[in-house]
A and B are shown apart, each in its own frame.
Chain A
Amino acid sequence: MDPSRAASTPSYGPPGDGGGPAPEFPAGLRVLLVDDDPTCLKILDRMLRKCLYDVTTCSRAAVALSTLREKKGWFDLVLSDVYMPDMDGFKLLEHIGLEMDLPVIMMSADDHKDVVMKGVTHGACDYIIKPVRMESLKNIWQHVVRKKRNELKELENSGSVEEDDKHKRSLDDGDNASSGCVGNWKNAKRKKEEEEEEMVEEHDDSSNTKKPRVVWSVDLHQQFVTAVNQLGVDKAVPKKILELMNVAGLTRENVASHLQKYRLYLRRVSVPQHHSRFDAHFASAQEVTYNSIGSVSGYDFQALAASTQLLPHNIAALHSGPRSATNTGMGVSAIDQIGFLNSGKQVTNSSNIISSSVQQINSRQMSDIHGPSNNIELNQHGQSQQVVQPFGSINRQFGEGTTKFFSSPSSELTNFSLPRGTINGQPNNSLARHMNQHGQQFPISQQRSNMEITWQGQGLPRSRGQLLTETACHDSRLVSALLQQVPSNNIPNHVSGGLETSANMLTSLPANYMNASCSTSPQALYPDVHNSFITGLAGSCYPRVSSIGATPQTGSVKALSNSSNLKGMDNHVPNYDIIAEQHQNKSQDWKLQNVNLPYQSGQNLRHGQSTIDCRSSLMGNQDSTSSAKNGFNGNAGTVVKNIISTGSDTDKEKRECIVQHKTNLVENCNRVTYDGIPDFSYQDILFEDNIITNELMNVVRKQQQEGIEQVDNEFNFNPPV
């Protein structure tokens, strides 16, 4: 940023949040200086003031900490000495990072590599060797800007819509350091602070002592979810999870805190009506956990997508749910959801649901089953929790035998506030397929697809769902196709009691789907994703897959269920084709959406079916799609593409759709605040990449014109509090 930009002469100015015009950035940067040496303190104080920063000095770390606590948000940056008598500088650094999450710069005359490394590992933004020169201090503002940017990104990923969007735009305008930033960083800071508080709380919950943050990547989260599913959500204990995960460097505490968050997320997801921030919240609340969750959900999503071929749509939905902090979470999150769904529950339920009534499934499943997956979808859309839930809830229900999911599918379906709500259909297929492979996941995926389909139709919350829904809406046909696929899968999985309902739902789903005009294609993708995801899910338990076969399939459902036979994933392919075909027609966006979501996770969608294979390969490639700039995009795009392409000849078409959609999705995602959607990576994935934003936006807009509400509008999800 160049202070010279502003015409006005830089002045010390009041604190950023004080009254009066904001000083020209970086002038007025509020720095807290902590050093026990009075000489250094005085010198640095003078230097910083010469840089036109707003300096507060402390000679004791304890005083500094209390000052920071009292005046939260008062400071932008902390400069601290390493060796202090009352408290170690690193400890202070940890505290600050944990409680206030401010950028901290360490200083010392000690330039030994290990000390500097210690600073890095403890999270310091920078390490300055004494004697400190003016030049070094002139540029410390960059750390503030950088941090804000990253936080914005994360927030966006987690579904905070407008604010992030604006910020992102402003930031992306390329003038972080410039006036663009000036206005923004203060606003962003405030907004972030509000949101951060939520996050911070969660952060605090997670660990007493701040260790180097564990980044719950999509993969890691997947592993986590897998482990949890294996153990059983209710029975999972951190120790066992840790053992199952077998990840080096992961502590029991990390797992414990993550589990806690995950459980919260699931709880949230199970309530469809809840603010859609579940996922987003969950995800956003914990930067770290997001990843993991995202991974989880991504996993689900993918699995679902794989099975139900709702790919783009579903995937997106899924991803939106559990946004992982990392974009990769998207795919993972979806998958996680699926996996979550699957493992914990009876997959068959999902399939049943699908078959019984799409709508029901959607709503219900979305809300119930989705649990995690729901979150994904919901997250994105915030509102779409319902949608998501069904998916997730499906799983849950399955496992828990909750028939509620099933019982009131219809109602639930409608509950999905997802505007598009069409995502559901697809996942089922993929799920089915996927499950076939695994024998377990299938049901889940079906559910997913079911849910997705219905979901979209229901007008699921857009946040995440927007993307999904959009896609879903577009291809109602696809949805129906998916539904058909799904039913087979889902039905069995679906709550025992609700088999028929699910079937009905499935059928209704297509109907809804059609209505929703969500493109089914994404779903198609989704199922594939799911499938692949599911296959990728190691040890995920989708016990019910097999049972799905019995799902009554109404017309369309049947078709869908073909692929979703739990028994054999192979069916998936056919479904996919169906969907793909349908999809071709429209849901370009879908694909993108779906793809985005689950595929992010590096699941090997090694599915027997071509679609899945394609997807998996796509997923692997992260940058196949044009929009694959960001990891997320790439994954999503690739996944979507694969899914689409594998199954049908409309690959290109789909790809394009996907790409477009992805961008839209991404964009949408960015703006969507995932409410209550736990770390669905989906969201993260979608949002992280701005690349496809533009494209997605275009696609989304198109879709919107089809009757789908503006994604943007929808995405005013408030970040979960």
Chain B
Amino acid sequence: MDINCAVLTPIGKPFEGRRNGALSPHFPLLALFPALRLLSSLVLPFMVGGILVFFTVVLAVKVRSRGRRSRCWRLYIEFASDVFREGFLDNQYTQLLQLQDENEPKFVLQVGTLFLEDSEKLLNQLRGILDKQDVDFEKLDACVRKLTGSSASIGANRLKNVCMPFHNCCKKGSKEGCLKCLQQVAQEYLLVKSKLETLFKLEKQILAAGVSVPVLSLQQQ
């Protein structure tokens, strides 16, 4: 099957083209292939959803003497591409990036932070409910639903996907199933948390370097 790749193009920044033969600064395409294969399986849910069919990752990096700035920028782009490729975040996130402008330059940062905090609380709540002898599945379901909504809104796709079976377990009333799901959810949460935090950090670095953060956009191919 075709490789699903996410095309990530920085749109906020003109780039001067690719450096010839310099694969090291950016991920080698070859190296990408295995990752891409892996990616396809990862983004299978994506495909199933039928939202994003094909993605190609294109890294456009300025190589020349941006130096630190370009390096930061590059890192950012690369990392972001990775994140998207692996399905941690989807185009909803890019939409949020587009909402960011001069009026609200830190919008995504704020929202992301808010999301992480809120999700943490929800997870704790879930744990608390499942810890009890008598599991209140209604309450559990409500929490899961909330988590699903949050992750969907922020674009945390994988997290949202693992919430679905959790929701089903709640409906069935199976405590064991719920516990298992909770584990998965917790795991995904930690992953997306680290990705987001890294992204934010890289953004900070770019800004510190005096470069404007590129606005990523997913392109379908």
> Which A residues form the contact surface with B (CB < 8 A)?
36-40, 42-44, 46-47, 50, 81, 83, 85, 108-110, 130-134
Bound-complex Cα distance A109 to B151 (A):
10
Task: Check B87 for interface membership: any CB of A closer than 8 A.
Answer: no
Whether B110 contacts A131 by the Cβ 8 Å rule is: no
Task: Check B70 for interface membership: any CB of A closer than 8 A.
Answer: no
Chain A residues within an 8 Å CB radius of B110? 42
Whether A37 contacts B150 by the Cβ 8 Å rule is: yes
Bound-complex Cα distance A90 to B149 (A):
17
Chain B residues within an 8 Å CB radius of A109? 145, 148-149, 152, 160
> Which B residues form the contact surface with A (CB < 8 A)?
92, 95-96, 98-99, 104, 107, 110-111, 114-115, 118, 142, 145-146, 148-150, 152-155, 160
- Which of B114, B118, B145, B149 has most chain A Cβ within 10 Å? B149
Chain A residues within an 8 Å CB radius of B142? 83, 85
Whether B118 contacts A46 by the Cβ 8 Å rule is: no
Bound-complex Cα distance A656 to B149 (A):
60
- Which of A36, A40, A50 has most chain B Cβ within 10 Å? A40
Bound-complex Cα distance A133 to B148 (A):
16
Whether A131 contacts B115 by the Cβ 8 Å rule is: no
Chain B residues within an 8 Å CB radius of A47? 99
Rounded to whole Å, the gap between the CB of B8 and the closest CB of chain A is 19
Chain B residues within an 8 Å CB radius of A108? 149
Whether B114 contacts A39 by the Cβ 8 Å rule is: yes
- Which of A42, A47, A134 has most chain B Cβ within 10 Å? A42
Whether A133 contacts B92 by the Cβ 8 Å rule is: yes
Chain B residues within an 8 Å CB radius of A130? 149, 152-153
Bound-complex Cα distance A405 to B115 (A):
73
Chain A residues within an 8 Å CB radius of B92? 131, 133
Besides A46-B104, A133-B95, 19 other CB < 8 A contacts?
A: A37-B118, A38-B114, A38-B118, A39-B111, A40-B149, A42-B110, A43-B96, A43-B99, A43-B154, A81-B149, A109-B145, A110-B145, A130-B149, A131-B92, A131-B152, A131-B153, A132-B153, A133-B92, A134-B98
Chain A residues within an 8 Å CB radius of B104? 46
- Which of A108, A110, A130 has most chain B Cβ within 10 Å? A130
Chain A residues within an 8 Å CB radius of B150? 37, 39-40
Chain A residues within an 8 Å CB radius of B96? 43
Q: A46's contact among B99, B148, B155, by CB below 8 Å, is which?
A: B99
Whether A83 contacts B118 by the Cβ 8 Å rule is: no
Rounded to whole Å, the gap between the CB of A59 and the closest CB of chain B is 12
Bound-complex Cα distance A43 to B153 (A):
7
Bound-complex Cα distance A46 to B110 (A):
12
Rounded to whole Å, the gap between the CB of B95 and the closest CB of chain A is 6
Bound-complex Cα distance A556 to B160 (A):
82
- The verdict on A39 contacting B153 (CB below 8 Å), with A46-B104, A46-B107 known, is yes
Bound-complex Cα distance A46 to B142 (A):
25
Rounded to whole Å, the gap between the CB of B171 and the closest CB of chain A is 11
Rounded to whole Å, the gap between the CB of B17 and the closest CB of chain A is 32
Rounded to whole Å, the gap between the CB of A615 and the closest CB of chain B is 56
Minimum CB distance partner of A44 in chain B: B153
Minimum CB distance partner of A40 in chain B: B153
Minimum CB distance partner of A36 in chain B: B146
Bound-complex Cα distance A47 to B110 (A):
14
Whether A39 contacts B154 by the Cβ 8 Å rule is: yes
- Which of A37, A43, A131 has most chain B Cβ within 10 Å? A131
Bound-complex Cα distance A38 to B120 (A):
13
Chain A residues within an 8 Å CB radius of B155? 131
Chain A residues within an 8 Å CB radius of B98? 134
Rounded to whole Å, the gap between the CB of B99 and the closest CB of chain A is 5
Q: B114's contact among A42, A85, A110, A131, by CB below 8 Å, is which?
A: A42
Rounded to whole Å, the gap between the CB of B125 and the closest CB of chain A is 12
Chain B residues within an 8 Å CB radius of A85? 142
Rounded to whole Å, the gap between the CB of B126 and the closest CB of chain A is 15
Chain A residues within an 8 Å CB radius of B145? 83, 109-110
Cβ contacts A to B, 8 pairs, < 8 Å: A37-B153, A38-B114, A38-B118, A40-B153, A46-B104, A85-B142, A108-B149, A109-B148
Chain A residues within an 8 Å CB radius of B99? 43, 46-47, 50, 134
Rounded to whole Å, the gap between the CB of A131 and the closest CB of chain B is 4
Chain B residues within an 8 Å CB radius of A83? 142, 145-146, 149
Chain A residues within an 8 Å CB radius of B153? 37, 39-40, 43-44, 130-132
Bound-complex Cα distance A130 to B147 (A):
12
Bound-complex Cα distance A109 to B146 (A):
9
Chain B residues within an 8 Å CB radius of A131? 92, 152-153, 155
Rounded to whole Å, the gap between the CB of A335 and the closest CB of chain B is 51
In the A-B complex, list the 7 residue pairs whose CB atoms are closest, starting with the nearest.
A131-B152, A109-B149, A131-B92, A39-B115, A39-B150, A40-B153, A109-B148
Chain A residues within an 8 Å CB radius of B160? 109
Bound-complex Cα distance A47 to B146 (A):
20
Chain A residues within an 8 Å CB radius of B114? 38-39, 42
Bound-complex Cα distance A190 to B30 (A):
66
Bound-complex Cα distance A36 to B147 (A):
12
Whether A42 contacts B148 by the Cβ 8 Å rule is: no
Chain B residues within an 8 Å CB radius of A44? 153
Rounded to whole Å, the gap between the CB of A119 and the closest CB of chain B is 15
Bound-complex Cα distance A501 to B152 (A):
78
Chain A residues within an 8 Å CB radius of B148? 109
